[in-house]
Amino acid sequence: MHMAHLRKHEQKTLLALKKRARVHVEKIAEISGLAHSAVMRAVLTLSEKKLIKVQEQKQLIVTLNPEGKHHAKRGLPERRLIDSLIKLGGKAPIEKAAKDARLEKKFIPIALGWLQRKGWATIEDRRKLKALRRKPAKGADEKLLSILDEKGSLVAEELEKDLRSAVAILKRRKLVEIREKVLREIELTGAGQKLVKKRLQIVEEVSQLTPELVVSGKWRQVKLRKYNIEAPVAKMWPGKKHPYARFLDELKEKLVALGFKEMVGPPVELSFFNFDCLYTPQDHPAREWVGVYYVKSPKRGRVDAYKPIVENVKRTHEEGWKTGSTGWKYRFSIRDTQRLLLRAHGTALSVRTLLSEDLEIPGKYFAVARCYRPDMVDKTHLSEFNQVEGIIVGEDLTLRDLLGVLERFAIDIAGVDKVKFRPDYFPFTEPSVELVAYKEGYGWLEFGGSGIFRPEVTLPLGIKVPVLAWGLGVDRLFMMKAGIDDIRYLFAQDLDWIRRMELT
């Protein structure tokens, strides 16, 4: 052990003990000029290093309570009563003596009790007091009271024997407070003494290298304190993307790499785009309140910008128009097309794209669209979610190409090992195909739904080439990746979980 391995306040503490036997912590603080808390910290580490010994001593500190203070100033009740009795000639009625003593009523019984116990007076018939002593001497209790009044507090252990017993009496009379204090006395151990003798001079020791030390060159004269490098440190949380948002970002990148352009559009949508253009009949249960959120006010938007299209869609629903279809055979309401709702699927965006002047043929489009369904939010349902879907428009696109797109997604996006295709159903596609993919560690998962838009969808929009439509079940993919089985974690409100989520 070398002095320089100690911190500055540890060194100062040791030096304060030099040539002294036991020293109180307070005294060390005084000698060394260190703060009390610094001495305490030093004492702790020095005793761990066995350089000092700490003797703990318990002390009882006695102080007066308010009633005690009162009596200290005015005298104990029995003293006040005996004084007045003696003045009255040694014999008087209790009331008279108490009145002359100006003794508060509540103290009269106490005074009478102690007068008799101390043998100073006795009570005769007809409540008369008779003094038994002419001038009773001051008792230890009274002495203690006045010392306490003068000094404020006393250490019980330091008192003489009679005063110490008076402490017990006053405690019983509930005139003093007694609290315990631990007194620490410090002395050097043999090792401590050796160390102090060996080295008297304090070496400047520094924990933080400062710009001043660096620039001035003073760093050469100081000792940079050794750290406990294994000590735990404060936690830090970097700024991060939300894990699900990050996953969607990567997905967008992959789709862009496959040649897809992103579509964006309004979450408050016209029924026209959400349903009518997608050949969903107006009386279909999917359009009822249990299937889709409607806007309370304003109820309706405008479709006048799409007038000829609305007419085509109307006739297609009613009797098939030029599409070769029988149609749904009912009366189509243009008013119903204007009804505003919260987009129920991203396919509404595909319809807008097909109607857009910027539509490119061939063209590939995708959207990560916020969609809404009137579900109670629980472990497996959300009222609001993201759908990843899109279209491919081009001459000569076929069912084979649709399968090719799905296979490509499965490999490039989900990195799966095997794919399988199954017949599926969507009101707006025929044929419809579901993609089932196998991924090692995950098993089979339904990864996407797709189809070729029905002629009842494309022809009224003026699209004469095939349109392949696809949607990817990315929520489940993310949940498996993130190891969660509660869909609410896609919109997690749990900051700690988000912070701890590893980036993979």
Partner 1 sequence: MPTIEVERRDFESLLGLELPGDMEELDDMLAYVKGEVKHLDEQEIHIEVKDSNRADLWSVEGLARALRGFLSLEKGLRDYVIAGSSGVNVQVDSKLKNIRPYIGCAVVKGIKFTDMMIRGVMRLQDKLDLTYGRNRRRTSIGLYDFDLISPPLRYSVAIPEQVSFVPLDFAEKMSLNEILEKHPKGIEYGHIVRSHAVLPLLSDSKDNVLSFPPIINSNDLGRITENTRNVLIEVTGTSNETVLNSLNIMVTSLADRCGKIFTAEVHYPYKERKNAVTPQLETKTMHIDMADMNRLFGFKITMKEATVLLGKAGYGIGKTRKNSITVKIPCYRIDIMHPVDIAEDIAIAYGYNKIKPRWQRLPTTGSTSSQTQFCNLAREIMVGLGFQETLTFTMTSPETLQTKMNKKREKVVEIANPRMVTLTCLRNWVLPSLLEFLSHNTHVEYPQRIFEVGYAVVFDEKAETKTRNMAKLACVSTHPNANFTEIKSCLDALFLNIGLRQWKIRETTHPSFISGRTATIHFKDREIGIIGEIHPQVLNNFELKSPASAFEINLEELM
Task: List binders of partner 1 among 201-260 (CB under 8 A).
Answer: 235, 237-242, 244-245, 249, 252, 255-260
SS3 assignment, position 166: helix
Contact between 482 and partner 1 by CB under 8 A: the answer reads: no
Which is nearer to partner 1, 41 or 373 (by Cβ)? 373
Of the ranges 88-96, 116-124, 196-204, 286-294, which one interacts with partner 1 (CB under 8 A)? 286-294
Contact between 493 and partner 1 by CB under 8 A: the answer reads: yes
Asked if 21 and 187 count as a contact pair (C-beta separation under 8 A), the reply is yes
68/167 Cα distance (integer angstroms): 12
Q: Give the one residue of 77, 327, 346, 448 binding partner 1; rule: CB under 8 A.
A: 327
Contact between 329 and partner 1 by CB under 8 A: the answer reads: yes
Q: Give the one residue of 117, 226, 302, 379 binding partner 1; rule: CB under 8 A.
A: 302
Contact between 196 and partner 1 by CB under 8 A: the answer reads: no
Q: Give the one residue of 50, 422, 462, 465 binding partner 1; rule: CB under 8 A.
A: 422
Which is nearer to partner 1, 218 or 381 (by Cβ)? 381
Which is nearer to partner 1, 99 or 425 (by Cβ)? 425
Which residues, 6+ apart, have CB-to-CB distance to 444 below 8 Å? Answer: 420, 436, 437, 438
Contact between 467 and partner 1 by CB under 8 A: the answer reads: no
Contact between 324 and partner 1 by CB under 8 A: the answer reads: yes
Of the ranges 98-106, 181-189, 192-200, 423-431, which one interacts with partner 1 (CB under 8 A)? 423-431
Amino acid at 213: L
Q: Examine residue 431 and say whether the peptide bond preceding it is cis (omega within 30 degrees of 0).
A: yes
Contact between 335 and partner 1 by CB under 8 A: the answer reads: no
Contact between 336 and partner 1 by CB under 8 A: the answer reads: no
Q: Considering the complex, what minimum distance in angstroms separates the CB of residue 373 from partner 1?
A: 9
SS3 assignment, position 340: strand
Contact between 284 and partner 1 by CB under 8 A: the answer reads: yes
Residue 213 is encoded by which pair of tokens? 């030390």
Which is nearer to partner 1, 192 or 471 (by Cβ)? 471
Contact between 447 and partner 1 by CB under 8 A: the answer reads: no
Q: Considering the complex, what minimum distance in angstroms separates the CB of residue 430 from partner 1?
A: 4
Q: Considering the complex, what minimum distance in angstroms separates the CB of residue 7 from partner 1?
A: 30
Which is nearer to partner 1, 217 or 238 (by Cβ)? 238
Q: Give the one residue of 52, 263, 278, 351 binding partner 1; rule: CB under 8 A.
A: 263
Contact between 342 and partner 1 by CB under 8 A: the answer reads: yes
Amino acid at 302: R
Number of residues that bind partner 1 (CB under 8 A): 107
Contact between 269 and partner 1 by CB under 8 A: the answer reads: yes
Contact between 355 and partner 1 by CB under 8 A: the answer reads: no
Which residues, 6+ apart, have CB-to-CB distance to 455 below 8 Å? Answer: 323, 324, 325
b/e string for 45-72 if b means 16 or more Cβ within 10 A?
Answer: ebeebebbeeeeeeebebebeeebeebb
Q: What is the DSSP string of 55-101?
A: EEEEEEEEEE-HHHHHHHHH--HHHHHHHHHHHTTSEEEHHHHHHHT
Residue 411 is encoded by which pair of tokens? 């490999």
Which residues, 6+ apart, have CB-to-CB distance to 261 below 8 Å? Answer: 360, 363, 364, 365, 366
Which residues, 6+ apart, have CB-to-CB distance to 361 below 8 Å? Answer: 393, 394, 395, 465
Contact between 495 and partner 1 by CB under 8 A: the answer reads: yes
Q: Considering the complex, what minimum distance in angstroms separates the CB of residue 230 from partner 1?
A: 22
Determine if residue 175 is left, alpha or beta; phi over 0 gives left, psi from -120 to 50 gives alpha, anything else beta: alpha
Contact between 500 and partner 1 by CB under 8 A: the answer reads: no
Contact between 301 and partner 1 by CB under 8 A: the answer reads: yes
Contact between 400 and partner 1 by CB under 8 A: the answer reads: yes
Which is nearer to partner 1, 166 or 382 (by Cβ)? 382
Question: Cα dist. 360→187, 356, 463 in Å?
Answer: 91, 9, 11
Q: Give the one residue of 219, 320, 359, 481 binding partner 1; rule: CB under 8 A.
A: 320
Which is nearer to partner 1, 19 or 296 (by Cβ)? 296
Which is nearer to partner 1, 123 or 245 (by Cβ)? 245
Cβ atoms within 10 Å of 225's Cβ, excluding its own: 13
Where do runs of H (alpha helix) occur along 343-471?
347-355, 399-412, 455-458
Q: Considering the complex, what minimum distance in angstroms separates the CB of residue 376 from partner 1?
A: 6
Please give the residues from 374 up to 393 whose contact with partner 1 meets the rule CB under 8 A.
374-377, 383-384, 392
State the pairing for strand pair 176-188/261-262.
Answer: unpaired
388/394 Cα distance (integer angstroms): 20
